[in-house]
C-alpha cells in the first residue's frame, strides 16, 4: 500500500503540488489525468523521490518518510523508498549501448549485485512476459518505439518493485504501437501489479485503471472510478477536460 499525505512540492516560491492526499491500494491501477503542467509528472517523481516533497508524508510498504520544509531528507531513507519503485518514461530511456537483455539486467547486476547468470535468467523471464524474448540481443536503435517501451517495462519490473510508475507510457507512440504497450500493461494489471500512471490515453486509462485522479494546477480536483470520472464526472472542470480528450473512443464498460 502507498499513502501520500498532504504532499506539497515547491520549486523555489512556486507551489507545484499542494496538499495531495492519496491512498493507492496493493494491486490497484491509478491513472493521473489532467491538463499539461498540472503536476502529474512531478507527483510520480515525488513517489519515487526523484523529487523530494517539501512537506507531507509518504508511506510505501513498511517505509514511512515525513518531509519538513527546510530539513534535508536522509539519503538512505530515499534509497529505501526508491528501490521499491520502478519507473517507465514517455521516451523509453533505454541505455543505447546495451542490448535489450543487458538493459533489463543492468540494475540487478550493478545495484542489487546479482550474479550475471541469475540476472540474465530473470531478464529473460521478463522479456518473455512483455513479448520481447525474441529481441533479447537486439540494440535499442533497431527496435520500434513499442518494442523499446516493452523492454523499458521489463527493465522497470526487474527488481520486483512494489509499484510501477509510468509517465505517459504510450504518448510517444503511433496508435498501433501504443496498443501493444497497452496490452502489456493490461496484462500486468490483471496479474496484480500495482501501478500509478500519468496518461492522456483514454483507451489505456479506461482499459486498466481502477481509480482515476484528475489533477489541475497541482491540486486534486476529483477522484473516482474510471467509469465515473470518464462517464459521469461531477465537477464542471473535469467534464470540460474529459470532453477535450481526443480519444475517438466512447468509454464503455
- Residues in contact with ligand ADP by the rule CB under 6 A: 11, 16, 36-42, 198
For residue 199, state whether it binds Mg ion (rule: CB under 5 A). no
Provide, rounded to whole angstroms, the least separation between the CB of residue 83 and Mg ion. 23
User: Is the Cα dihedral 111, 113, 116, 122 positive or negative?
Assistant: negative
Q: Is 170 in the site for Mg ion (CB under 5 A)?
A: no
Interface with Mg ion includes 223 (CB under 5 A)?
Answer: no
Minimum CB distance to ligand ADP smaller for 168 or for 211: 168
- As measured in angstroms, the least distance from the Cβ of 11 to ligand ADP is 3
Binding characters for Mg ion, 23-52, by CB under 5 A (x = yes)? -----------------xx-----------
Task: Find residue 168's DSSP bridge partners.
Answer: none
Q: Which is nearer to ligand ADP, 136 or 198 (CB)?
A: 198
Complete DSSP assignment for 104-160 = HHHHHHHTS---HHHHHHHHHHHHHHTT-GGGTT--GGGS-HHHHHHHHHHHHHTT-
- List the strands of the sheet with 29-33, edge to edge: 85-88, 163-167, 195-198, 29-33, 211-216, 219-225
Shorter beta-carbon distance to ligand ADP: residue 154 or 198: 198
Q: In the bound complex, what is the minimum distance in angstroms from residue 5's beta carbon to ligand ADP?
A: 19
Burial group, residue 189, by CB count within 10 angstroms (0-12, 13-18, 19+):
buried
In the complex, least distance from residue 40 CB atom to ligand ADP, rounded to whole angstroms:
3
**For residue 227, how many C-alpha atoms fall within 13 Å in the half-sphere facing its CB?**
3
- Give, for 244, the enclosing helix (H) or strand (E): helix 236-244
Q: Based on CB atoms, which residue is closest to Mg ion, 167 or 211?
A: 167
* Residue numbers at the binding site for Mg ion (CB under 5 A): 40-41
Amino acid at each position: 500500500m502507498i499513502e501520500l499525505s498532504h504532499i506539497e512540492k515547491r520549486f523555489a516560491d512556486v507551489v507545484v503540488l499542494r496538499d495531495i492526499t492519496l491512498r493507492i491500494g496493493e494491486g490497484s491501477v491509478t491513472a493521473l489525468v489532467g491538463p499539461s503542467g498540472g503536476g502529474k509528472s512531478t507527483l510520480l517523481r515525488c513517489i519515487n523521490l526523484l523529487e523530494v516533497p517539501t512537506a507531507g508524508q509518504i508511506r510505501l510498504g513498511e517505509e514511512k518518510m515525513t518531509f519538513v520544509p527546510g530539513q534535508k531528507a536522509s539519503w538512505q531513507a530515499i534509497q529505501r523508498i526508491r528501490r521499491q519503485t520502478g519507473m517507465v518514461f514517455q521516451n523509453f530511456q533505454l541505455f543505447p549501448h546495451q542490448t535489450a537483455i543487458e538493459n533489463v539486467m543492468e540494475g540487478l547486476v550493478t545495484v542489487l549485485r546479482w550474479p550475471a547468470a541469475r540476472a540474465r535468467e530473470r531478464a529473460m523471464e521478463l522479456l518473455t512476459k512483455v513479448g520481447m524474448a525474441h529481441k533479447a540481443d537486439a540494440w535499442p536503435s533497431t527496435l520500434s518505439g513499442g518494442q523499446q517501451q516493452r523492454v523499458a517495462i521489463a527493465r522497470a519490473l526487474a527488481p520486483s518493485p512494489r509499484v510501477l510508475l509510468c509517465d505517459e507510457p504510450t504518448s510517444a507512440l503511433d496508435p498501433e504501437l501504443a496498443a501493444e504497450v497497452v496490452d502489456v500493461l493490461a496484462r500486468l494489471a490483471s496479474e496484480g501489479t500495482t501501478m500509478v500512471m500519468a496518461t492522456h490515453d483514454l483507451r489505456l486509462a479506461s482499459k486498466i485503471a481502477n481509480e482515476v485522479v484528475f489533477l489541475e494546477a497541482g491540486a486534486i480536483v476529483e477522484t473516482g472510478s474510471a467509469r465515473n470520472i470518464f462517464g459521469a464526472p461531477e465537477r464542471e472542470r473535469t467534464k470540460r477536460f474529459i470532453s477535450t480528450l481526443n480519444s475517438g473512443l466512447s468509454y464503455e464498460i
